[in-house]
A and B are shown apart, each in its own frame.
Chain A
Amino acid sequence: NAGVTQTPKFRILKIGQSMTLQCTQDMNHNYMYWYRQDPGMGLKLIYYSVGAGITDKGEVPNGYNVSRSTTEDFPLRLELAAPSQTSVYFCASSYEQGAGKLFFGSGTQLSVL
Chain B
Amino acid sequence: AQSVTQLGSHVSVSEGALVLLRCNYSSSVPPYLFWYVQYPNQGLQLLLKYTSAATLVKGINGFEAEFKKSETSFHLTKPSAHMSDAAEYFCAVKGGGADGLTFGKGTHLIIQP
Contacts of B70 in A (CB 8 A): none
Asked if A41 CB lies within 8 Å of chain B CBs, one says yes
Q: Interface residue tally of chain B, by bracket?
A: 20 to 34
Q: Which of B36, B90, B100 contacts A48 (CB 8 A)?
A: B100
* A99 close to B (CB within 8 Å): yes
Chain A positions 61-113 with a Cβ under 8 Å from a chain B Cβ: 90, 92, 97-102, 104-107
Q: Which of B44, B45, B94, B106 contacts A99 (CB 8 A)?
A: B94
0/1 per residue, B71-106, Cβ < 8 Å to A? 000000000000000000010001011111111111
Instruction: List chain B positions with a Cβ less than 8 A from chain A.
Output: 9, 32, 34, 36, 41-46, 49, 51, 90, 94, 96-106
Q: Which 3 A-B pairs have the closest CB atoms?
A: A104-B43, A48-B97, A42-B103
